[in-house]
Structures are given as C-alpha cells and as structure tokens.
Amino acid sequence: MQMSDTFYDNWTTQLRKGLLELAILNTLGAGPLYGYDIVRRLGDVDSLVINEGTVYPILSRLRNEQYVESYIEESSSGPPRKYYRLTPRGREELRRMNTHWTRLHEAIGSLKKERGRT
Amino acid sequence: MIDLTPEARKRFDEYLYRMRASLRGSRSIEPQEVEQNVVEHVQAALEGVPSPVGQERLSEVLMQLGPPEGWLPDEERPAWRKVMDRVMTGPDDWRIAYASFALTLLMIVTLPIGGILLVLPAFFLSRAYVEMLAQRGESLGARRWLVLPPIALLMLLACVAALIGATAPVAAIGLNEGGLRAVGFRGDTEFERVRIEIGFVAMAAGVWWIVLSGVFAMLWRPFRFTFLPLTQGLRRGHAFVLTIAGIVVGGIGSVLLFVV
C-alpha cells in the first residue's frame, strides 16, 4: 500500500467515525426507526458505513447520553422490535451539530473556490 | 428466534461472545442493548431465508456487521487492546515493528533458557524495518521504542565482546597457568601479586584496544551500517578515541608491571 493511500484511508476512517453520530441523529430526525432500518438507511449513503455493527454501540451511547430514547413495538413480521427516537435534548443537539456541519462545509467550499481562482 | 443450523448457531454464539468481550467494561455503552440490536439485525437480515439458516448465509450478514473488536470508541479502549489492534489490523510496517518488540520481550522472558538467541531475529527484523523506512523517507518517530532495543542490545554485546576480545585468553594464560611467574614476574606479597596481575591485564587490554582501533579504522563503515540508526554519527576519527584509551590503559598497566 502506498503512503498516500494509507493517509487517505486513515483520513476517511476518521471522518466517517466523526460523521456517523451526526448521520444517525439525522436519520432519526425524520421519525422513530428500529436498529436494522437505521443501518439500512445509512447504508444508502455511499461509504458512510463500512461495518454495519458500529451503528449499534453508537445508538447505545446516544441513549445513555439521553439524545435518543428507545421503546419496544410489536412487529407484524416477527418478534417485537426496539425502536429509537430523538429526545428533545437530542433534537437540540442535532440542530447545533447540523449548524456546525453546514458552517464547516461552507468554509471548506469557500477554500476550494479560492483555490480555483488562484 | 432465528432457526440456525448447529454450525451457524456456533458461529453466531462465538460472534456474540466476541462482541460481549469487546464491549465489556465500557462506561457509555450497554453490551446487552447492543447484543439485542445485533440479534434483531440478524433476524431482520435473514427474514425470508429458508430455515434452518446455514453458516454461509449467516457469515455474510456477520461480515456486513464487521468485527466487534473495533466497536468500542477509541477513548474507551484499554491501552493493551489498542496495541493488539495495531498488531492485528495495522499496516504491515507497524506489524514488523511490533513483531520485533514482541521478540525482544520474549527474549527477556526466556533468558534463563537461552532466550538471548532471540536477539538475532529481533535484530534482523528491526534493521530491515529501519532500512524500509529509510527507503521511504520516513522517520521512525515513536516506533523507535519498538525497534531500537534489539539493535542497541546486539551492539552492546558486540562492543563488549570486541573490547574484551584477545584480552581474555591472554589474561587466562598469564594468570592461570603461571605464565607470569615463568617470565620472572614473582610477587613476594599478596599486594605485589595483585599489582602484577592488574598491570598485566591492563597492558594486554591496552595493546588489544590499539590493535582494535586499527581494525575499526579499516572496518568502521560495515560496523556503522550494521547498527544504524544508532551509529548514525560514527566516523573513522572515533577509532582515535579507542587508540588513546588503549595507550592510557596499556600505559597504566606497564607502569604497574615494570615501574612500581
């Protein structure tokens, strides 16, 4: 593996780890979902989730920190499922995180534009 | 409950065991909750698959879930596990560094049963690693703590062996087989005998070091290369230090032997 590949791989891994919490909270922003559904939706975002299992410890942590809460609901196609939804605290945190992400995204965008001009 | 074949059940139980072991002790994650989610995930992923579900189909789902050893957040993983993860999943060059360090540790642990011999493979691994990084233009950085110990140890052994070198057999002949007495050095008192013996050994060492400094002046480049990067600053001129040391020690030995 080339050195630049290693650097790129490390960078994308770190980025992915950092963004996964934001992505999970945004997924739940639309309404309650159960674990497998969250994973499926995140899986639709290209290269965001490499190992699907990493989503579950994050869900547990978010619940412990009271950003999400869980409840059990009967399922028509199998055993009862554990659903997750945002708490008011989680909704507020998601708003802050999205604002920060937008600012960051815009700042990087303007840096790219500047580079394009030079 | 998923209907699995016995092999698939065994595989799934092993996976859950690994997951529990990996998340044990976490302050922010509840392993039972994660396990419940994983079981639900597998159930949902295998929905519609004819039962009993075999190992192959289950393995596909578990592969997608990924190894649970990496699920704990970095800040919560104990130091030993970070090291193990680096060895198991890190880039090849880090693995070489850790392998070298592991051999060094094994050498220390097995010293009473001849473990010192492990210094050789550890040394070769470390040297190959240093050369590989040099070719890439990378510095050792923190990895020096992993790869330099065997190089330093072998260099120390080589230096001690070289410095003792011919002095040991000469001293053995002179002291143990009455060699000194045969050539007229007889001490009448205990003090005299000790003076003569120390003087003889010091003179032999001094002469050997002067010879050794000549050898070093000729072969300093191979020596420097062998123990890089520790010998990075070594020059031919350093042979002169050994010559001076030889003259001083040999001189002291001569004074003790012939003058006092």
Q: B-chain residues within 8 Å CB-CB of A51?
A: 64-67, 70
DSSP state of B256: I
CB B32 within 8 A of CB A82: no
H or E segment at A80? Answer: strand A78-86
Residues facing residue A34 across a β-bridge = A83
Q: Which of residues 23-42 of B touch A (CB under 8 A)?
A: 23, 26, 28-30, 33-34, 36-38, 40-41
Instruction: Please tell me whether the interface predicted TM-score (ipTM) of this complex is above 0.85.
Output: yes
Query: Quick check: helix, strand or coil at residue B30?
Result: coil
CA A109 – CA A115 distance, rounded (Å): 10
Q: What are phi and psi of B210, to 5 degrees?
A: -65, -45
Who among A1, A34, A53 is closest to B71 (CB)? A53
A76 at B interface, C-beta within 8 A: no
- pTM (2 d.p.): 0.55
- β-partners of residue A61 are none
Nearest CA in chain B to A53: B65
Under 8 Å between Cβ of A61 and B28: yes
A104: its two tokens: 């960051």
The confidence band for A74, taking pLDDT boundaries of 50, 70 and 90, is confident
Disruptive mutation site among A61, A75, A82 for chain B (greatest number of B CBs within 10 Å) = A61
| Separation of alpha carbons A29 and B148, rounded Å | 53
Interface of A with B in 9-28 (CB under 8 A): none
DSSP element (H, E) containing A86: strand A78-86
If one compares A96 and B177, the residue with the highest pLDDT of the two is: A96
Tens digit of pLDDT at every position of chain B (260 positions): 688 999 999 999 999 988 988 888 788 899 999 999 999 999 999 988 888 999 999 999 999 999 887 788 777 776 666 665 665 555 556 778 888 888 889 988 888 888 888 889 999 988 988 887 777 667 788 888 888 999 999 999 999 998 888 787 777 777 765 666 666 666 677 777 778 788 888 888 899 999 999 998 888 888 988 998 888 888 888 889 999 999 998 899 888 877 66
pLDDT at B244: 93
Helical residues (DSSP H) of chain A, grouped into ranges: 3-29, 35-43, 55-64, 88-117
Using one digit for the tens of pLDDT, what is the confidence trace for B152-188?
Answer: 999 999 999 988 887 877 777 777 656 666 666 666 7
Closest alpha carbon within chain B to A39: B41
Question: Is the pLDDT reported for residue A90 higher than 70?
Answer: yes
Select the residue from A60, A64, A65 to test the B interface by mutation, using most B Cβ atoms within 10 A.
A60
Q: Which residues numbered 96-135 in B keep a CB inside 8 Å of some CB on A?
A: none
Hey, what's the torsion of the CAs at B99, B105, B107, B111, to 10 degrees? -170
Q: How close, in Å, is residue B42 to chain A by CA atoms?
A: 9
Structure token digits, residue B81: 């596990």
Q: What average pLDDT does the structure give for chain A?
A: 88
Reading the block at residue B29, the tokens are 């994650």
Please say if the pLDDT value at position A81 is more than 80.
yes
Q: Which helix (H) or strand (E) holds A33?
A: strand A33-34
Q: Do A82 and B44 touch (CB under 8 A)?
A: no
Q: Give the Cα separation of B7 and B42 in Å (integer).
A: 16
